[in-house]
Amino acid sequence: MHFETKAIHVAQEPDKETGAVVPPIHLSTTFKQDEVGKHKGFEYSRTGNPTRQKLEENIASLENGKFGLAFASGSAATATLQMLLNKGDHVVCGDDVYGGTFRFFDKVMARLGVEYDFIDMSNVSNLEKAVKPNTKMIWLETPTNPLLKITDLKAVADISKQRNIITVVDNTFASPFLQNPLDFGIDIVVHSTTKYISGHSDVVGGIVVLNDDDLHEQLRFLQNAAGAVPSPFDCWLVLRGVKTLALRAERHSDNAEKIVEFLVSQQDKVERVYYPFLDSHPNSDVARRQMKRGGGMVSFEIVGGKDQAFKFLKELKLFHLAESLGGVESLSEYPPTMTHGSYSEQERLERGIRPNLIRLSVGIENVDDLIEDLKNAFSIAFQ
């Protein structure tokens, strides 16, 4: 079955009892047992819930994985995955990741005795050098947040397989329509479903997808033990949103490509544009190999500094100045103090997050209106 069909049909079949084409939301927190220990597959809603199970099956199929585990947020999924580790374990993590992910690793897990090294994974030879005898996990985003760096997924999987290291890819920026890391030999995929998968900026959620039975068993235990599960209504909202993911991802990419073209043409106002499918991107060949399209995220450096960036952001009318991404509406944001404010200034500069960086989540509006909005903001900011 193709992606578009799976998104609409897998675990979204009409309700057996009533024929309702949209599956119902199971709000019940507990399930009647026929006798002690004998039940119809569900006991207590933290442990398992029919609506959540549908979401887990649906997204697992879209990532070409065997198992899905849904969480209350992308961050809850990230945190639960770190519970696979023990004190003294070492993790190699990409140096450009969502600020909240860095914060959790650096401020919480490091305090509990897990060791992290943050490296540039654009070049996998850096990874080979960073791996140590106690390395248990490799964690990366591709494309990364906010600099849209690209890592060769197959090369990472090859390095980890020789050494028995668990590989985790946060696939939030691509979405399962544009990229399926498990197909390249990656062990675990994680998403913030808050973003492209749900697509309408009205639900916070996370999901983990994998193939390995043992790891699945451990994670199912942790999901229940830590308990950061999503509500049935939130699961249902994600299931509703995902039905249109393929259409949206194509349109996000169409619009982003045109906006990238526009930004590149503004040489007196734009210093540098970051986009995976831009020919000048250092890993555009890798991006084209492992992604269907370039996606809807675009970052750029405006000529001038922080003040110029602030002036420009203030003048945008259609691109709302807001954190998050992946919704139908276009958003703009300032990574240094918004999404990546948990990095120190020095950590940001070391990673290439400069004070004139702006990130756009390109929505699915008419692209001419979006370009008009950018043009107008540039003309006022550069008056």
Active site residues: 46, 98, 170, 195
**What are the helix (H) ranges across the chain?**
3-9, 50-62, 74-82, 99-103, 124-130, 153-163, 213-226, 232-242, 245-265, 284-290, 306-315, 345-351, 367-381
Binding residue count for ligand P1T, defined by CB under 6 A: 19
The residue type of 47 is T
Binding mask 46-85 for ligand P1T (x = CB under 6 A): ---------------------------xxx----------
Task: Name the residue with the smallest CB distance to ligand P1T.
Answer: 74
Show contacts with ligand P1T in window 193-252 (CB under 6 A). 194, 204, 206
In whole angstroms, the minimum distance from the beta carbon of 146 to ligand P1T comes to 7
Show contacts with ligand P1T in window 93-122 (CB under 6 A). 98, 100-101
Binding mask 14-53 for ligand P1T (x = CB under 6 A): ----------------------------------------
DSSP 252-288: HHHHHHHHHHHHHH-TTTEEEEE-TTSTTSTTHHHHH
In whole angstroms, the minimum distance from the beta carbon of 101 to ligand P1T comes to 6
DSSP 195-253: TTTT-SS----EEEEE--HHHHHHHHHHHHHH--PPPHHHHHHHHHHHTTHHHHHHHHH
Segment interacting with ligand P1T (CB under 6 A) among 35-43, 59-67, 305-313, 318-326:
318-326
323 counts as binding ligand P1T under rule CB under 6 A:
yes
Task: State which residue, 42 or 98, has the beta carbon closest to ligand P1T.
Answer: 98
CB 222 within 8 A of CB 17: no
192 counts as binding ligand P1T under rule CB under 6 A:
yes
Residues near ligand P1T (CB under 6 A)? 73-75, 98, 100-101, 141, 145, 170, 172-173, 192, 194, 204, 206, 323-325, 339
